[in-house]
Amino acid sequence: MMGRRTAMAGAAAVVAAAGARGAEAQPTSLRPGFDDALLVIDVQNCFMPGGSLAVPRGDEVVPVVNALAPGFRIVVLTQDWHTPGHASFASSHSARKPFDVVRMSYGNQVLWPDHCVQGTPGAELHKDLVVPNAQLILRKGYNPRVDSYSAFLEADRRTKTGLEAWLKAKGIKRVFCAGLATDFCVAWTALDARRLGFEAVVIEDACRAIDLDGSLDKAWAAMTRAGVERAVSADILV
């Protein structure tokens, strides 16, 4: 358990440091418009209760996302999509266990339980997620040597997923983020969105967090400093 706490604290510190470079969010209209997109982050079976890397109450985001999605012109779904034996898996490292931290070529890496392996049931989107108007499913983390939390950049912080260019080609200026987990993949995505020039809103009740040793509060503080707006689904008139 100490290894898990240390790992999560370290990852949360990275999020906090990234947020320190931003600016305070300004109140704006939350009605989705032509230049808005909904990003639904990693609503996959492995992150659900009973999954190999479960986020507490992760399944509760599904009906909220289903209700929100019809109000957006552009909807993107993301999936963790790891190769078997991925470098971020503890099982790929001798004498290591989940939530240990090791040094990779791109920096410190939390070692996770095996999860979201390509083509397995755990990598599938939740069966009750119904978003027929999604135009793009973006799969990340498939480089066997590099992890990927953000929907925009892999963990080496250099390799782009292509989402930035795709959204800008569609005329998107603001992204609304939902999914799992608030304090990790959702936060990294929102922070990168701001860094890349998008406005960003995180829909709190459409996300769930790991929230270990204060990681959720740290993530929200970082996002606020970066100019990410915080909202709930009732604020969004769809």
* pLDDT at 214 (0 to 100): 82
Q: Please say if 185 is a catalytic residue.
A: yes
Q: How many residues does the chain have?
A: 238
Taking residues 190-212, report their average pLDDT.
Answer: 96
Residue 70 three-state SS: helix
Which pair of structure tokens corresponds to residue 156?
A: 């080496």
Portion of the chain with pLDDT greater than 70, in percent: 87
Taking residues 163-168, report their average pLDDT.
Answer: 98
* DSSP H or E run through 104: strand 101-104
Mean pLDDT score of the chain: 90
CB-based contact 25:231 (threshold 8 Å)? no
Please say if the pLDDT value at position 6 is more than 60: no
Q: What gap in Å lies between CA 88 and CA 128, rounded to an integer?
A: 28
Beta pairing partners, 53:
none
Q: What gap in Å lies between CA 153 and CA 189, rounded to an integer?
A: 8
Segment 182-191, tens digit of pLDDT: 999 999 999 9
CB-based contact 148:141 (threshold 8 Å)? yes
pTM of the predicted protein model? 0.87
- Which position among 185, 192, 207, 218 bears the catalytic label? 185
Architecture of domain 2-80+119-235: 3-Layer(aba) Sandwich (3.40)
Q: Please say if 116 is a catalytic residue.
A: no
- Which position among 46, 116, 140, 218 bears the catalytic label? 140
Q: What gap in Å lies between CA 59 and CA 129, rounded to an integer?
A: 10
Domain boundaries in the chain? 2-80+119-235
Q: Please say if 140 is a catalytic residue.
A: yes
* pLDDT at 217 (0 to 100): 95
What residues contact residue 130 under an 8 Å CB cut-off, 6+ apart?
A: 66
Query: What are the φ/ψ torsions at residue 203 (nearest 5 degrees)?
Result: -90, 105
- Which position among 42, 114, 147, 183 bears the catalytic label? 42
CB-based contact 142:9 (threshold 8 Å)? no
